[in-house]
Amino acid sequence: MSDRRTILILSANPKGTNPLRLSEEIREIKEGLKRSKYRDLYEIETAEAVRVGDIQRAMLDYEPNIVHFCGHGGGEEGLVFEDVTGQIKLVSAEALAGLFSLFADRLDCVLLNACYSEVQAKEISRHINSVIGMSQAIGDQAAIAFAVGFYDALGADKDVDFAYKLGCNAIQMQGIPEHLTPKLLTKVSESSPPPTITTNHYVERPPIEQNCYQNILKPGILIRIKAPEKMGKSSLLNQILAYTKKQNYQTVRLDFQLLEAEVIENSSQFLRWLCKKVSKQLKLADQVDDYWQGMTPNILCTDYFEECLLPHLNNSLVLALDNVDRFFEEKYQVIAANFFGMLRSWWGNAQQTTNSDWQKLRLIVVYSTEDLPKLNIYQSPFNVGEEVKLSEFNRSQIQVLAQHYGLNLLSPQVERLTELVGGHPYLLKLAFEHLKTDPNVTLDKLLVKAATNEGIYRSHLQEYWLNLDNDSELCGIFKAVVTSDSPIQISSPKQLYKLESMGLIAVDNNKVKPRCQLYRLYFREQLG
């Protein structure tokens, strides 16, 4: 066997995901190693537009010492690969860890250069000596800089720890405020990782939490959580689910945001998937294939819950459905009408029946906009149950969040920050994390560059910019919003829905304005 060490680069950028500069990343890695002092120690193999089956074949064909993945990450849902049609196919942390464990005698490093991939890195590091994942979203430029720095160090015959540090420094040297995003996990340290300030610090917004805790105990309850992107919906959902687990309830959480396109081609296929997924998470036998015949999909799914799932539970079931507005798109109108009508009927079953099994079911639906699909009012789950609307943090809540990060900000400092980002939870957390972890960052420095491509919000803003740039009509409408000194009306409900669900605008009395001054300043410059 050759003494050369093999680096296997896997990349995927499926249809329907934001385009990434993956070819540039691969080219830069190759060029860097080609120039390195110990270039003869390494050979690079690549597999692009990787489908799930390609991963195993590539591992068998190349027997790599290092695996590098570049592409999209879906957090707890998995890494994003492609299916046979080029659409999204998610692969779980457990599946990846299981695969890499089979090659652990030769594989000693895995680098997951994808957003929110620390979840997978933790699982893989149970089997592999060194694994690098990303603790949050990472922009193209930072991802490429890290990769180049990392492999330049390996090409100089440095170890993985040094290479990781050089990669982080490469991000910092380019003035990109994302050098804290990569995380190195080792097989030894994975079982007891040191606490980091990237922990999700939760700030309560009374009386929302207590109301949710009280309501979720009600038989057959339906709770609707609504707020724009990155306003804390998922964090609140986590709190509710943690509370229900203390009540010994069983929980199933499904996120529709990264649901594979082929799953939602028709109602039958989607509801089969739903039943299979719930069965799996409840660790109950999957009887779907045997059961799925002779009736309409809604009846089959309802009967499956009534006969194969709910009777086998000793306690209540909380079914949490995150990002259900995936089905608000026009192309899913038929599926939406069937699915949401079914949820409404389940809620009705629990209210009207003497069947205690339906009263075990508690539903939570999470979405980002008021622009609901056109449903019969008697078939909609969006006008029953308990609605929860998340607002921005107030001043006292902002102070609590700052204290979670060990920061004692004076009132004038808080005032200056909120003038820029308002009470936006995600934008505040990002600021506090940088103030806490980087001694070179001061509030003054942070605020001066915040609305530029050199500031800490760079990746967040550029992600929005990419979405706008791909939709000329939406881009033109948002330009009118950010260049107007007063709120304006948007005549297109479709474009209003998009901007509101993205979290770029605030709506008041049918008029809109930028959600915060950060968005006005940045996009006025970009769109001007």
Q: What pLDDT is stored for residue 188 in this prediction? A: 47
Evaluate the CA torsion angle 313, 316, 322, 328 in order and state its sign: positive
Q: Is the pLDDT of residue 103 over 60?
A: yes
Contact indicator for 86, 14 with CB cutoff of 8 Å: yes
Nearest to 263, CA basis, from 273, 276, 278: 273
- CATH fold for the domain made of 208-389: Rossmann fold (3.40.50)
When pLDDT is cut at 50, 70 and 90, the band that residue 189 belongs to is very low
Nearest to 69, CA basis, from 138, 161, 3: 138
Structure tokens at 470: 């791909």
CB 357: neighbour CB atoms within 10 A? 18
- Helix (H), strand (E) counts: the chain: 21, 15
* DSSP, res 470: T
Domain boundaries, the chain: 5-186, 208-389, 395-450, 459-527
Evaluate the CA torsion angle 430, 436, 441, 447 in order and state its sign: positive
Average pLDDT over residues 115-122: 90
When pLDDT is cut at 50, 70 and 90, the band that residue 366 belongs to is very high
| Residue where the block lists tokens 């959580």 | 225
Domain 459-527 sits in CATH at 1.10.10
| Residue where the block lists tokens 């000194």 | 485
Kindly state the percentage of the chain with pLDDT values over 70. Answer: 96
Interval 35-57: pLDDT, tens? 888 888 899 999 999 998 899 99
Q: What are phi and psi of 377, to 5 degrees?
A: -60, -25
CA distance 288 to 462: 43
As its CATH architecture, domain 5-186 has: 3-Layer(aba) Sandwich (3.40)
Evaluate the CA torsion angle 231, 233, 235, 236 in order and state its sign: positive
| Residue where the block lists tokens 């849902």 | 77
Domains 5-186 and 208-389 share a fold: yes
Interval 208-233: pLDDT, tens? 999 999 999 999 999 999 998 889 99
When pLDDT is cut at 50, 70 and 90, the band that residue 191 belongs to is very low
Nearest to 16, CA basis, from 368, 503, 499, 467: 467
- pTM for the structure as a whole: 0.68
CA dihedral 222, 401, 138, 473 (to 10 degrees): 60
Supply the mean pLDDT for the chain.
90
